[in-house]
């Protein structure tokens, strides 16, 4: 069983500040890495899918990078807004369609 760690577990950020958090994995033997945003009482929302070492993806103020050689992915949020408050999950495909989720980072933006 692959151990997918996310850090920090929770994070409080002042509105307007930028922030980032990490998804760590011990092996590059996977097909794709996904990032999801999950707001309370809503559906998990797909942000990015990345497959290649060095991949960088961007959607508005949110971006992500993937480093398979060193075993991590970063998610960056620039100029945090209250609507960014959510739990951010990374997840992996290991050769098939099953997603194995990380432990999540709970982000709270302080107005």
Partner 1 sequence: DTEVTQTPKHLVMGMTNKKSLKCEQHMGHRAMYWYKQKAKKPPELMFVYSYEKLSINESVPSRFSPECPNSSLLNLHLHALQPEDSALYLCASSQEGVAGDEQYFGPGTRLTVT
Question: Does 52 interact with partner 1 (rule: CB under 8 A)?
Answer: no
Question: Does 62 interact with partner 1 (rule: CB under 8 A)?
Answer: no
Question: Does 67 interact with partner 1 (rule: CB under 8 A)?
Answer: no
Question: Does 104 interact with partner 1 (rule: CB under 8 A)?
Answer: yes
Site string for partner 1, 73-92 (x = CB under 8 A): ----------------x-x-
Q: How far apart are alpha carbons 93 and 34 in whole angstroms?
A: 8
- Alpha carbon separation from 52 to 18, 23, 28, 29, 111 (Å, rounded): 25, 15, 10, 11, 36
Among the residue ranges 19-27, 55-63, 64-72, 94-102, the one whose residues contact partner 1 (CB under 8 A): 94-102
* Nearest-approach distance from CB 105 to partner 1, in angstroms: 11
Closest CA to 6 of 98, 104, 82: 104
Site for partner 1 in 3-32 (CB under 8 A): 31-32
């Amino acid at each position: 069983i692959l151990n997918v760690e996310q850090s920090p577990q929770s994070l409080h950020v002042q509105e307007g500040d930028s922030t980032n958090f990490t998804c760590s994995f011990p092996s590059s033997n996977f097909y794709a890495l996904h990032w999801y945003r999950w707001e309370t009482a809503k559906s998990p929302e797909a942000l990015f899918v990345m497959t290649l070492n060095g991949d960088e993806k961007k959607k508005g103020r949110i971006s992500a990078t993937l480093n398979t050689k060193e075993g991590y992915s970063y998610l960056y949020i620039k100029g945090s807004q209250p609507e960014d408050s959510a739990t951010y999950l990374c997840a992996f495909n290991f050769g098939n369609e099953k997603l194995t989720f990380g432990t999540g980072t709970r982000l709270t933006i302080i107005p």
